[in-house]
Amino acid sequence: MSVSDNVKALEARISRAAMNAGRDPGEITIVAVAKTYPAPAIEEAIASGIKIIGENRVQEAKEKHRVIGDRVEWHMVGHLQTNKVKEALSIFSMIQSLDSVRLAEEIEKRAAREVACLLEVNTSKETTKFGVAPDEVFDLYERLAQCRKIDVQGLMTIGPGWAVQDPEASRPCFRVLRELREELAQAFDRSFPVLSMGMTSDFEVAIEEGSTMIRAGTAIFGPRE
């Protein structure tokens, strides 16, 4: 199947999952995660209606951005090192992987504008994953609320590694994130509209649990080499 066919199939699956959950499919945004995929594949995704490209590495994004430019939004979805912040801010309109005060301070220092960010939460508690622990989210947000150039728009998480074989394994993680978002909104009397959760293997479960943004790579571009 072509990228165009894959996008149509993905949209149909999103629509079914949303309607089954009693939700409006229009509430759910697709981020096409282009890690390892070449610029021509991204061009085809854009032609098929994709409006946001997600990248895991700054250097790889920089090379593709040079070709594609700002016809789409670019989101940083991988771990961001502090020494890459300056370059990242020249490419990405959203940092989905903000997980420390140190990284926030570097963004605050380097940014010439307000930067949309999501707090990455390690809901699976896997040591191989980045993200702040769920019980540390409130303290981190309190610190970030003092930053003038950081706009925390919501939360992001990744399901456990074994969700590739068992999508239901991600449900507790997604539920924790949704409940954290609700508690944050109540505690700080503001909305956090974005819940970025769900990837190719488990996005239907994520939609059932309230995801507003899914991050799909292989569902759009096909298997990675």
CB 159, CB 174: distance < 8 Å: yes
How many whole angstroms separate alpha carbon 217 and alpha carbon 197?
Answer: 13
Name the 3-class secondary structure at 79.
coil
Confidence at residue 75, expressed as pLDDT on a 0 to 100 scale: 98
Sequential DSSP letters for 141-183: HHHHTT-SSEEEEEEE----GGGGT-GGGGHHHHHHHHHHHHH
Name the 3-class secondary structure at 75.
strand
Phi, psi for residue 203 in degrees, rounded to 5: -70, -30
Instruction: Kindly give, in sequence order, each residue whose CB lies less than 8 Å from that of residue 59, ignoring residues fewer than 6 positions away.
Output: 87
Indicate which CATH number applies to the domain containing 96.
3.20.20.10
Confidence at residue 105, expressed as pLDDT on a 0 to 100 scale: 96
How many whole angstroms separate alpha carbon 105 and alpha carbon 94?
Answer: 16
Q: Quick count: other Cβ atoms within 10 Å of Cβ 113?
A: 9
Confidence at residue 167, expressed as pLDDT on a 0 to 100 scale: 92
Name the 3-class secondary structure at 138.
helix
Structural tokens at position 72: 């789409």
Quick one: CA torsion of 73, 148, 77, 43, rounded to 10 degrees?
10
pLDDT tens per residue across all 225 residues of the chain = 899 999 999 999 999 999 999 999 999 999 999 999 999 999 999 999 999 999 999 999 999 999 999 999 999 999 999 999 999 999 999 999 999 999 999 999 999 999 999 999 999 998 899 999 999 999 999 999 889 999 999 999 999 887 788 899 999 999 999 999 999 999 999 999 999 999 999 999 999 999 999 999 999 999 987
Beta strands in the chain (DSSP E): 29-33, 52-55, 73-76, 94-98, 115-120, 150-156, 194-196, 213-216
Confidence at residue 148, expressed as pLDDT on a 0 to 100 scale: 94
Confidence at residue 134, expressed as pLDDT on a 0 to 100 scale: 97
The total domain count for the chain is: 1
Full-prediction pTM beyond 0.85? yes
Confidence at residue 195, expressed as pLDDT on a 0 to 100 scale: 98
For residue 44, the enclosing domain spans: 3-221
Question: Sign of the CA dihedral 151, 76, 118, 33?
Answer: positive
